[in-house]
Structure 1
Amino acid sequence: MLLLQFSILIGMILVGSQMKGIGLGVMGMVGLSIFVFIFGMKPGDPPIDVMLVIMAIVSTAATLQACGGLDYLVKLAEKVIRSNPSNIVFIAPFTVYFFCLFAGTAHLLYSLLPIISEVAAKKRIRPERPLSISVIASHLAITGSPMSAATAAFAGAGILAYPGALIDIMKVCIPACIIGIFLGCLSVIRKGKELSEDPIFLEKMKDPEFAKSLDSNDSAGEQKPLRKGAKTSVVIFSIAVLMIVLAGAFPQLLPTFEPGAASLVLKANGELQMVAVISMVTLTASALMMIATKTSAVDVTKVSLFSSMATAVVSVFGVVWMSSTFMAHNEIVIKGFMTDIVSAHPWTFAIAVFILGALMFSQAATTKTMMPLGMSLGLSNPALIAIFPAVNADFVLPGYPTLLAAINFDRTGSTKIGKFVVNHSFMIPGLVAIGTAIAAGFLLGAVLL
């Protein structure tokens, strides 16, 4: 029966991921309905905390986008990338990482991909090299950013939820991911043929228009002027990030209330939950950005990030609720199967997290599904934090938007999906970077935590 139920779980995730958009969410609800009405499973708790965090954080990022703040960040990143084109294989991914780490979203990457591709091609550096590891870097930035839903969910109610958890995640995962990205860069520095020897590129260069556009000294696209108040919105956003980090580092600075039953807002001891702190700080920052820059609230709802928020909320709602119901119903069997292995070799749990992350296409959903299981298996907090980068396995199946965008922006044709699907341009740098980040996380956790 367990195998049948697990097959339904995986089947719903696979079908939903192929549907794109809210497909993962609605197919999750189909699976949940089967579990409840056919197998008689007791429904688990829906991931309300993660949904609230996604709505708050992404709405704030959308406000930053509407105010022109994201355009300003992209402009800064472009300057950094163009400053040293010969070393773009290293410059581009680290630029992407730090900007996505600050913003808490990988959406900055879409504006930078054509710049990375163009700069590499003009220097006759195979664009596949910086593009592939830059995509992986944008994903790794999510696990460690105080402004990402996955990190907030991991640090918040139901998983770590201890004072200073957010800071512990940041001080382990950020340096671990930086080490992982560096080795990821080394893994692609000689990847593929040089453009001067690549038959696909040489064939494209026979087209005079293509050759002329590639050798042109003009920058990619026409720079649009920044909105008035763009820099102000970045300052306000920065203050919000700082306040969240300080709240995580010094919870004693926050108000406390009478002890009672734990809720989404308060812990049992009366302290504020991080989901409440993040929601209040980020949405207050949204209001201040709109007021300071005279940006219409209606304009915020029209930007791409805001619409992506709705997709993320529905997806997490369906797939995590289905998964938590399956896990709770089969907890005894799952724990009995995994406890001895994970207790003896904690790193093996990273494999399970990685596999589910590859199927779910959502770091937040994978975090909310798998990390509570890790806690119930007796994994220590440092071990769970070290394993956290494994939720970034959404590059394995080449259907994630960042991968497809990188392939489409590479005009040379060097970035591609192989004939066996999984032998694509992102597999090697992804496995190297995430595997290294996890290993480094265990070492850093032993020293720092």
Structure 2
Amino acid sequence: MVTFLIILQLFIVLALIFIGARVGGIGLGIYGMVGVFILVFIFGLKPGKLPIDVMLIIVSVITAAASLQAAGGLDYLVGLAAKFLRRHPEHITYYGPLVTWLFCLVAGTAHTSYSLLPIISEIATNSKIRPERPMSVATIAASLGITGSPVSAATAAIISTDLLGCRGIELKDVLIICIPASLIAILVASFVQNHVGKELVDDPEYQRRVKEGVINPEQDSKQMEQIEAHPNPHAKYAVMAFLMAVLLVVIFGSVPSLRPSFVVDGETVRMGMPEIIEVVMMAMSALILLVGKAKVQDAVKGNVFAAGMNAMVSIFGIAWMGDTFFNGNLSFFKSHIAGIVTQYPFLFAVALFFMSIMLFSQAATVRTLYPLGIGLGITPLALVAMFPAVNGYFFIPNYPTEVAAINFDRTGTTRIGRYVLNHSFQLAGFITTFVSIGVGYLVITFLY
């Protein structure tokens, strides 16, 4: 009976994701909240954790990006990139994901990708590259940056003294194994993704949006030529202010000792990265508007602000629904996964993958399953090689970075498919997972 109820709940969750995806816009958020209502009031599940930090990070980053757009900074960046991309336009599929990965690797959070995704989308669109190609890999690359970052919560969990830290695994081991594994995985996924889907001009959804006037390629092309020939003289200062904000986030993420600290109940507590991102990006928006001589009113009129707010509403409902379902049935999932792994230890990576789908958190997945892996006698180095498997939450397209990427792609090529699971991130996600784990095993075989 319990199994039937959980299957029924899963069916309802997937059905509402499907309906929300088909409606589009803030539909994911609205129907996600319908799911929360059903799970709580009908099935009696405890409401999951609200994705407050994610939503506030999106608000702050989007405010900065929208301010940058109002000051002409986004057009300035796109214009600079377009000059290079005309000679090597296909490289955005490689450069976009690699830059996103590097930012998240240094900052320790995938949420820094919110400032990069709209830029990647605009570069691809104006270069007539199918945005789905770089956007899908870049979104996955943001998660890979966490499993290899020296400052991420997931890495801190894996090297803690109660897990692998007391078994000879240090931070350098995680970096030596996971960084090259992630880098090679991203390059492989980018190569494959560069040949996926129709060319942008041949895509039916793109053609529909052009026909309806949602996208005007001729006007975009003329605007780009004008931007390159006559750039806004103040735009570069706005770009410098924006990059300064990103650099501050990276520095605070790389050197925790620089973060403000406070004494709480006799213990010293440092300011967390979510709060750092929110404060820095929102505060720097004022500087961006000031040096760029832009109006606040113009910032909220741009497509970046609209896409960001759509993403926030979508995340509000869809992420809350997912958290409510998985945490409400967590004991059932843990007991069944534990039984499978006990019988087949080599399937531990698969268990990590599916647990991450349920928990939407690499650190929580590590904390939940790694004690089991240690108890099963899996070698510590093998557990490090399996670390990228905790990025499996791309499987169901309701993670914040995926929702944001879909909203930022105004061509409609980055999308959730008719059957929900056949979405734009699935192929890149599986490629990077398999390749990164495989390369990780090669590293521990030849270097240890």
Question: How high is the TM-score relative to the length of structure 1?
Answer: 0.67
Q: Deviations over 1:19-54 (max 9, x none)?
A: 211111111211111122222222233121211111
Pick one of 63, 66, 73 that aligns with 2:70.
66
Q: State the match for 2:123 in structure 1.
A: 112
Instruction: Kindly state the Cα deviation for residue 286 of structure 1 after the two structures are TM-superposed.
Output: 0.8
Q: State the match for 2:96 in structure 1.
A: 96
1:45 aligned onto 2:49: yes
Write the distance in 1 (CA, Å) between the matches of 2:352 and 2:325.
Answer: 20
Pick one of 25, 31, 34 that aligns with 1:30.
34
User: SS of 1:295's equivalent?
Assistant: coil
Summarize the alignment of residues 140-219 of structure 1 with structure 2, pairs less than 5 Å apart: 140-143=140-143, 155=153, 176-187=181-192
Change over 3 Å in CA distance of 1:115–1:63 after alignment to 2: closer
Opposite residue 295 of structure 1, the aligned amino acid is A
Write the distance in 1 (CA, Å) between the matches of 2:70 and 2:271.
Answer: 30
Change over 3 Å in CA distance of 1:429–1:250 after alignment to 2: closer
Q: Deviations over 1:396-427 (max 9, x none)?
A: 99x9467883759xxxxxxx999999999987
Q: Which runs of 5+ in 1 are unaligned?
A: 118-126, 195-199, 201-217, 262-267, 357-365, 409-415
- Please say if residues 36 and 43 of structure 1, whose CA atoms lie closer than 8 Å, have aligned partners that are also in contact: yes
Q: State the match for 2:278 in structure 1.
A: 279
1:338 aligned onto 2:330: no
Q: Deviations over 1:234-280 (max 9, x none)?
A: 2112222221122122212222212249xxxxxx7422121111111
Q: State the match for 1:375 in structure 2.
A: 367
Change over 3 Å in CA distance of 1:337–1:180 after alignment to 2: same
1:229 aligned onto 2:240: no
Q: State the match for 1:253 in structure 2.
A: 258
- Please say if residues 388 and 438 of structure 1, whose CA atoms lie closer than 8 Å, have aligned partners that are also in contact: no
Pick one of 83, 87, 97 that aligns with 1:83.
87
Instruction: Kindly state the Cα deviation for residue 143 of structure 1 after the two structures are TM-superposed.
Output: 3.1
Q: State the match for 2:411 in structure 1.
A: 405
Pick one of 238, 241, 251 that aligns with 2:243.
238
Instruction: Kindly state the Cα deviation for residue 433 of structure 1 after the two structures are TM-superposed.
Output: 4.4
Q: Deviations over 1:318-341 (max 9, x none)?
A: 122222222232121111012344
Opposite residue 181 of structure 1, the aligned amino acid is I
Change over 3 Å in CA distance of 1:193–1:300 after alignment to 2: closer
Change over 3 Å in CA distance of 1:113–1:173 after alignment to 2: farther
Change over 3 Å in CA distance of 1:4–1:169 after alignment to 2: farther
Write the distance in 1 (CA, Å) between the matches of 2:248 and 2:388.
Answer: 25
Instruction: Kindly state the Cα deviation for residue 113 of structure 1 after the two structures are TM-superposed.
Output: 2.7
- Please say if residues 104 and 141 of structure 1, whose CA atoms lie closer than 8 Å, have aligned partners that are also in contact: no
Opposite residue 121 of structure 2, the aligned amino acid is Y
Change over 3 Å in CA distance of 1:107–1:353 after alignment to 2: farther
Q: State the match for 2:316 in structure 1.
A: 317
Q: State the match for 2:167 in structure 1.
A: none
Instruction: Kindly state the Cα deviation for residue 111 of structure 1 after the two structures are TM-superposed.
Output: 2.4
Pick one of 347, 350, 353 that aligns with 2:349.
347
- Please say if residues 63 and 305 of structure 2, whose CA atoms lie closer than 8 Å, have aligned partners that are also in contact: yes
Opposite residue 352 of structure 1, the aligned amino acid is F
Write the distance in 2 (CA, Å) between the matches of 1:54 and 1:169.
Answer: 29
Which deviates the most, 76-85 or 428-437? 428-437
Write the distance in 2 (CA, Å) between the matches of 1:421 and 1:42.
Answer: 25
Pick one of 9, 15, 24 that aligns with 1:11.
15
Instruction: Kindly state the Cα deviation for residue 177 of structure 1 after the two structures are TM-superposed.
Output: 4.6
Write the distance in 2 (CA, Å) between the matches of 1:277 and 1:329.
Answer: 31
Q: State the match for 1:134 in structure 2.
A: 134
Change over 3 Å in CA distance of 1:174–1:104 after alignment to 2: farther
- Please say if residues 397 and 423 of structure 2, whose CA atoms lie closer than 8 Å, have aligned partners that are also in contact: no
Q: Percent identity among equivalent residues?
A: 30
Write the distance in 2 (CA, Å) between the matches of 1:61 and 1:169.
Answer: 33
Q: Which runs of 5+ in 2 are unaligned?
A: 104-111, 161-171, 204-220, 374-382
Tell me how large the CA RMSD over aligned residues is. 4.8
Instruction: Kindly state the Cα deviation for residue 281 of structure 1 after the two structures are TM-superposed.
Output: 0.9
Change over 3 Å in CA distance of 1:5–1:187 after alignment to 2: closer
User: How many pairs does the alignment contain?
Assistant: 380
Write the distance in 1 (CA, Å) between the matches of 2:260 and 2:436.
Answer: 36
Write the distance in 1 (CA, Å) between the matches of 2:45 and 2:197.
Answer: 50
Opposite residue 183 of structure 1, the aligned amino acid is V
Instruction: Kindly state the Cα deviation for residue 386 of structure 1 after the two structures are TM-superposed.
Output: 1.9
Write the distance in 1 (CA, Å) between the matches of 2:397 and 2:326.
Answer: 25
- Please say if residues 240 and 282 of structure 1, whose CA atoms lie closer than 8 Å, have aligned partners that are also in contact: yes
Opposite residue 321 of structure 1, the aligned amino acid is W
- Please say if residues 48 and 327 of structure 2, whose CA atoms lie closer than 8 Å, have aligned partners that are also in contact: yes
- Please say if residues 395 and 426 of structure 2, whose CA atoms lie closer than 8 Å, have aligned partners that are also in contact: no
Change over 3 Å in CA distance of 1:60–1:392 after alignment to 2: farther
Q: Deviations over 1:188-244 (max 9, x none)?
A: 6788999xxxxx9xxxxxxxxxxxxxxxxx999633333232111221122222211
Instruction: Kindly state the Cα deviation for residue 378 of structure 1 after the two structures are TM-superposed.
Output: 3.5
Write the distance in 1 (CA, Å) between the matches of 2:54 and 2:424.
Answer: 32
Change over 3 Å in CA distance of 1:177–1:30 after alignment to 2: same
